[in-house]
Amino acid sequence: MSEREIIGALSVGIVLLLVAIRVPIGIAMGIVAFGGISAAVSIKAGLGVLTAIPFEIVGDWNLSAIPMFLLMGYVAASAELTKNLFRSARITLSWLPGGLASATVISAALFSSASGSSIATAAAFARTAVPEMLRANYHPGLATGAVAAAGTLGALIPPSVLMIVYGITMSESINSLFLAGVLPGIVSALMFIIYITVRCAVTPSLAPAVHEDVSPEERREAFRDVWPLPVIILGVIGGIFAGLFTPTEAGAVGAGLTILVAILRRSFTWPGFKDALVRTANGTASIFIIVVGAGLFQRLLGLTGVASAFTDLVAANIDTQLGVLIAIAALYLVMGCFLDGISIMLLTLPVITPILRHYSIDLIWFGVITVKLLEMGMITPPMGMNVFVVKGALGDRVSLGQVFRGTFGFLMSDFVTLGLIIAFPIMSLWLPELAS
């Protein structure tokens, strides 16, 4: 290895060490990138990159979609746009074994289409669906596990913040990525419902039967009040694919639509809106710090040539596309135990992109695989983000261990879905090819 490649390899190791001792990953990548470039080239080069890259990245117009989609999700959650959605799904599915949990999955899938955020989806349904399931004597693990797992659907079903970050990082069409996530997202939700139904049929004590005594008028009212989310979904997704606006502009359209719908439903409040703005600002700042750090680190890897050296090493030991995908999946699942999705994506993509290109792996298809793996990481111990969101929303009503144990069966369902996505690339690529 050359001196620069050694510096690059050491830099990767130092970043992993800093992350292990809880240094924020964006900060860790930025500091190491500056030090590595300074050592490999010169301090002047390090200062130049440190000056130019953050401005170049933050000034990217495409990134403005992130705060807008976050705002859309937080406003939808604060305005309780999920409440009647869950009620209508509950009335429809109450006859199924575990019907309330299945209703949660369907409701979360629809809500995630409007929010684009797994965390917002999990938080919203932890407050609405879990209390109803607990009142119906559902096992706490099943109730909380269903919400934590269903919340991950927000990462795959468009619009998705993770898809946007992936598309910008890989210079791939966000429209195509959104389309590619539709069928895998639907299959993921169906796998969850199948798991719930079979498990509750085998062990009825997990979810006692719920008999809904609903009048025709109450049924009509429940379905009549579902209109907010279909309006938002059609407005955002339909507008993108009709060419009325770009995915970047769709974030602002979606946020505006969500606020308008909340006002029309008289559920818009200034305290709720202020809270949504604060949470959006916090979430945006966190994401942007990671994106900037990853941009600096990517420049370091390019200058030192360590990514190319890593590609040569992989090519010498793995000779099939499937083998590479399995190795990357294993890496992502391990990292998902300790890091959040965006951090994993931005830390690894600069290193593995040359490998993907070497093996001619379709980057749209890989984007769906990546997001699915990151979804799974959101419910794996010890750092499953959605698990902590659900626990935080419920307080002492459930233990952290109960939530993690409740997600195990859903995680196994995700492995089945991941296998289908890898085995049948057409599931991800059919809609993008149809629209092209």
The tens digit of pLDDT for each residue in 43-52 reads 988 888 888 8
Count CB neighbours of 135 within 10 A.
11
Contacts of 318 (CB under 8 A, 6+ apart): 324, 327
pLDDT under 50 in the chain at which residues?
A: none
| Total domains, the chain | 1
pLDDT at 197: 94
H helix runs in 211-362, sequence order: 216-224, 228-233, 239-241, 247-264, 270-304, 306-317, 321-336, 341-358
d(CA 80, CA 225): 12
CA distances (Å), origin 286, targets 26, 405, 431: 8, 29, 32
Contacts of 296 (CB under 8 A, 6+ apart): 29, 30, 33, 34, 49, 50, 53, 54
CB 15 within 8 A of CB 308: no
- Look up residue 93 and give its amino acid: L
User: Looking at the domain assignment, is residue 44 inside a domain?
Assistant: no
Instruction: Give yes or no for a cis peptide into 228 (omega within 30° of 0).
Output: no
User: Looking at the domain assignment, is residue 3 inside a domain?
Assistant: no
User: Looking at the domain assignment, is residue 26 inside a domain?
Assistant: no
pTM, to two decimals: 0.84
Q: What are the φ/ψ torsions at residue 29 (nearest 5 degrees)?
A: -65, -40
d(CA 336, CA 375): 9
CA distances (Å), origin 405, targets 100, 149, 215, 387, 389: 19, 12, 37, 10, 15
User: Looking at the domain assignment, is residue 169 inside a domain?
Assistant: yes
- Domain residues for the domain of 334 are 62-292+303-435
pLDDT at 254: 85
pLDDT at 219: 66
CB 62 within 8 A of CB 246: no
User: Looking at the domain assignment, is residue 36 inside a domain?
Assistant: no
User: Looking at the domain assignment, is residue 23 inside a domain?
Assistant: no
Tokens of 246: 């770009």
pLDDT at 215: 67
CA angle 289-293-295, nearest 5°?
120
CB 401 within 8 A of CB 424: no
User: Looking at the domain assignment, is residue 424 inside a domain?
Assistant: yes
Look up tokens 């890593």; give the residue: 310
User: Looking at the domain assignment, is residue 163 inside a domain?
Assistant: yes
Q: What is the dihedral of CA 97, 99, 100, 101, to 10 degrees?
A: 80
d(CA 385, CA 122): 10
